[in-house]
Chain A
Amino acid sequence: MTPNSETELAEAITAAQGPLHVQGGGTRDIGAPVAGQVLSTAGLSGVTLYEPGALTLVAKAGTPLTEIEALLAAEGQRLPFEPMDHRPLLGTTGTPTIGGVVAANVSGPRRIQVGAARDFALGVRFVDGTGQVLKNGGRVMKNVTGYDLVKLMAGSWGTLGVLSEVSLKVGAIPETEATLVARGLEDDAAVAALSAALGSPFDVSGAAHLDAGANGGQSETRVRIEGLAGSVAYRAARLGEGVCKGWELVEAATSAALWLEVRDVGSLQTKPGNIWRFSLKPSDAPGMAEAIRRAHPEAACVFDWGGGLLWVSGPEGADLRPKGLKGHATLVRAARETRERLAVFQPESTPIAAITAGLRHKFDPRGILNPGLMGG
């Protein structure tokens, strides 16, 4: 089913007799496999409002991301949260949509500085599991009118409702960028350096570390700064005198290419087996990586967000989550059989699971929207 308007979307959901597999472009095939008729938002397409001077954009959920990025670029703007493209990592094809970005709360390396998709989502329109058209938030940058269901919808993977329209805060493309690069650092030294850089006043917008397994035998650690040319030069120099002493300076397009690779986890794309994504306290990341490598010597790791985001490639079917994990992990890439067997999303504590189940029941009492995708 590919409804062409919000009204048709509402009708399709109202009339549904069984489970629906909600999709934007279908490029982020993550979660427990969903049996059900495909409901695509691809027919809901188009930017409905763009005000560069107010940093706001409103688009229908099925609008291709490329269309939005091109429109923004023409005004010197972009989506600051740097949403990753999952296609190369997952081996999917298709066209990523803006609704999918919000529904999956997709962000990238700049999340550490500016926030995730959830932080840039100003408003949503969506259809709940009973076919009702609902809205929350709006198109203004500050809004505390009623509960913030925008945050709740962001990252709900289509399990609470099908987004029909999203409003976003956008930002300016900076004049230039630069990256400081170190090679051969151990994980703990790298994360300590990234922490120090992020704890400096120099407004670091990317802080990543690729371990030796991920980076062809020698680890690489990267710190990015962006802004006005003079300011970038100044901050690069200051970092270079301090925490990044002796690191190589890489500028402009060469710098950008490094971050595209981090964003899309380029260095793990060709690794066989599963891909895990851990969100954790940065200083816990080296220990976690170490423990995983001890159990699975072939595992390779990419640390983003100064260590707060750990990408790991591991063997097919092994659950890499330690007991009592402080944070959460998602099994981003795995065979269908593995995804049916292992919890793809982090299992929740009993009281949280009860709240989640209660909310799902309110939004989708028939349990027809991507049932089971997030577990529970």
Chain B
Amino acid sequence: MQMPQPDASILARKDRLVAQLQAILPEGCVIYDERETKAYECDALSVYRCPPLCAVLPETTEQVAAVMKLCHAEGVPVVPRGAGTSLAGGALPTADSVILGVARMNDVLDTDYPNRVIKVQTGRTNLSVTGAVEEDGFFYAPDPSSQLACAIAGNIAMNSGGAHCLKYGVTTNNLMGVTMVMADGEIVEIGGAHLDAGGLDLLGLICGSEGQLGIVTEATLRILAKPEGARPVLIGYDTNEIAGQCVSDIIKSGILPVAIEFMDRPCIRATEAFAGAGYPDCEALLIIEVEGSEAEIQDQLDRIITIARRHNPVELRESGSEEESARIWLGRKSAFGAMGQINDYMCLDGTIPVSELPLVLRRIGEMSQEYGLDVGNVFHAGDGNMHPLILFDANKPGDLEKCEAFGADILKLCVEVGGCLTGEHGVGVEKRDLMGAQYTDADLEVQLGVKDVFDPKWLLNPAKVFPLSTTEGRRA
């Protein structure tokens, strides 16, 4: 993975830039000491690291605007940052860039139950949005597994999803408005407490734009009434084909579970060793959760179980209590941690049409043999969003490169079968150079044209999303 050469003239101006930033921000909001900027050298894709020129942590939208105005005038690249949990290197700095972190902007600005919206500053963590309304019976639906740490800012930038998006949608379906600071420091309002756009759907465009179109400082989010209850069932099968068929049959039957999660054998074994959730040792495991009142839950589970039995499961465990539900979810929730115990891992995020599941899992198994790297699969089966976890040893020379090549092959396969490179983690730097597999030059050019409109000088997170060769003439 390559990053552009830092601009030597910016590096040379560091002291002056820091002083200028200090002049427009409250004390303690500019981090420039090299021991401290190290804290911002990477996100959760930690194999790539580079400390920024400095980091700023403004406390208001106006301060963000002032920083942007200055950086715009000085021609300094800015990399926005929420909580730094991106798995795609979205928040990875370059040595000549200013990290603009919104972590200190985490207030709830307005809670409006009659209109079912909450307005927050975007540095607020995902889980604490729900935390602000749950006592009153509401929740914010998108629930990335990283929800304890990740910020709404990053969720919007990546259009993040979660285990329950089969029913509730991803971030873009739950975002109603933003306050955004443009690359030149202008503050704009898009959307609000009302639905849909009066003109072009700019909100839809900004969601998922990976910090390249503006700095989102405030967000109006849709909140929903909490369901009365939820309960999962765990189903094990001998083959991936049958598990895939079962998923498809359930969806076709018209039942809408809130989650359908899938784990394959390597992943089941790893989580069993780690968390001991009591999963069966089988080829494919499904966790299906439904919501509603007790009677509604039972009705839906009965229907799901009837369908599941038709496919001769090796194991079928219906949760009868909160405790049993927690046990069923325990393994799934510790899957990443479990794989991380075994070795370093890279988590992929391609999406495929659900019908291609068996083929893709088979091919991944074959490739795993060819590359000599183990891989476990855990993913959102209802929507085909896969998360192959490739295990490698970061200390072994050549292993990372092998892992990257394996990952690229898997993602290309996802595209080949009609899917895409990334379902919820974003392109960042990780999938940047694969964009040509999914899009033609013209498809990419029109996207670059969109960035030209929002950020003509290409100062916002400029080295991400698009292959460097396509952005070379645009970046400063």
**A residues adjacent to B (C-beta < 8 A):** 51-56, 75-76, 105, 111-112, 115-116, 118-119, 128, 132-136, 138-152, 154-156, 160, 171-175, 192, 195, 198-201, 203, 227-228, 230-231, 234, 279-283, 305, 308-309, 326-330, 345-346, 348-349, 351-352, 355-356, 358-359, 362-363, 374-376
Residues of B near A133 (CB, < 8 A) are 442
Contact of B188 among A135, A227, A283, A349 (CB under 8 A): A349
A288 to B173, CA, bound (A): 27
**Most-contacted residue by chain A among B113, B189, B225, B465 (CB, 10 A):** B225
Contact of A51 among B159, B355, B452 (CB under 8 A): B355
**B115 near A195 (CB under 8 angstroms)?**
yes
**A356 near B443 (CB under 8 angstroms)?**
no
**B299 near A228 (CB under 8 angstroms)?**
yes
Known A154-B201, A326-B193; judge A363-B296 contact (CB<8 A): no
Contact of A283 among B114, B299, B452 (CB under 8 A): B114
Nearest CB to that of A305 among chain B residues? B195
Nearest CB to that of A358 among chain B residues? B453
- Min distance, Cβ B82 to any Cβ of chain A, angstroms: 15
Chain A interface: which of B262-270, B322-330, B423-431? B423-431
Q: Is B190 an interface residue (CB 8 A)?
A: yes
Pull 17 A–B residue pairs with CB atoms less than 8 Å apart, ordered by A.
A53-B247, A139-B353, A142-B161, A144-B158, A144-B208, A146-B438, A146-B466, A147-B208, A147-B209, A151-B172, A152-B205, A156-B201, A199-B138, A231-B293, A283-B112, A362-B446, A363-B446
Residues of B near A119 (CB, < 8 A) are 169, 172-173
A329 to B196, CA, bound (A): 11
Residues of B near A160 (CB, < 8 A) are 200
**A135 near B443 (CB under 8 angstroms)?**
yes
**B196 near A116 (CB under 8 angstroms)?**
yes
Number of interface residues of B (CB under 8 A): 94
**CB within 8 Å of A: which of B177-206?**
182, 186, 188-190, 192-205
A152 to B201, CA, bound (A): 5
A236 to B19, CA, bound (A): 64
Per-residue 0/1 for B193-233: is the Cβ within 8 Å of any A Cβ (1 yes, 0 no)?
A: 11111111111110111000000000000000111100000
Residues of B near A198 (CB, < 8 A) are 116, 225
**A279 near B204 (CB under 8 angstroms)?**
no
Contact of B383 among A142, A199, A200 (CB under 8 A): A142
Residues of B near A144 (CB, < 8 A) are 158-159, 208, 422-427
**B226 near A279 (CB under 8 angstroms)?**
no
Q: Is B288 an interface residue (CB 8 A)?
A: no
**A155 near B201 (CB under 8 angstroms)?**
yes
For the A-B complex with A118-B201, A355-B188, A363-B446 known, give 20 more contacts whose Cβ atoms are closer than 8 Å: A54-B355, A56-B353, A119-B169, A133-B442, A134-B443, A142-B165, A142-B384, A142-B385, A145-B421, A145-B439, A147-B450, A148-B205, A174-B254, A201-B137, A281-B193, A328-B198, A348-B199, A359-B453, A362-B449, A363-B449
Known A132-B442, A140-B351; judge A54-B248 contact (CB<8 A): yes
Residues of A near B192 (CB, < 8 A) are 281, 326-327
**B452 near A362 (CB under 8 angstroms)?**
yes
**A145 near B169 (CB under 8 angstroms)?**
no
Known A142-B161, A234-B293; judge A51-B447 contact (CB<8 A): no
Nearest CB to that of B188 among chain A residues? A351
Nearest CB to that of A75 among chain B residues? B252
- Min distance, Cβ A22 to any Cβ of chain B, angstroms: 15
- Min distance, Cβ B187 to any Cβ of chain A, angstroms: 8
Residues of B near A143 (CB, < 8 A) are 351, 420, 422-423
Residues of B near A54 (CB, < 8 A) are 248, 251, 353-355, 384
**B115 near A281 (CB under 8 angstroms)?**
yes
- Min distance, Cβ A357 to any Cβ of chain B, angstroms: 9
**B198 near A134 (CB under 8 angstroms)?**
no
A352 to B186, CA, bound (A): 11
**B450 near A359 (CB under 8 angstroms)?**
yes
Residues of A near B444 (CB, < 8 A) are 146
**B194 near A328 (CB under 8 angstroms)?**
yes
Contact of A282 among B114, B186, B209, B454 (CB under 8 A): B114
**CB within 8 Å of A: which of B389-448?**
418-427, 431, 435, 438-440, 442-444, 446-447
Known A144-B424, A327-B192, A328-B198; judge A234-B295 contact (CB<8 A): yes
- Min distance, Cβ A86 to any Cβ of chain B, angstroms: 16
**B198 near A151 (CB under 8 angstroms)?**
no
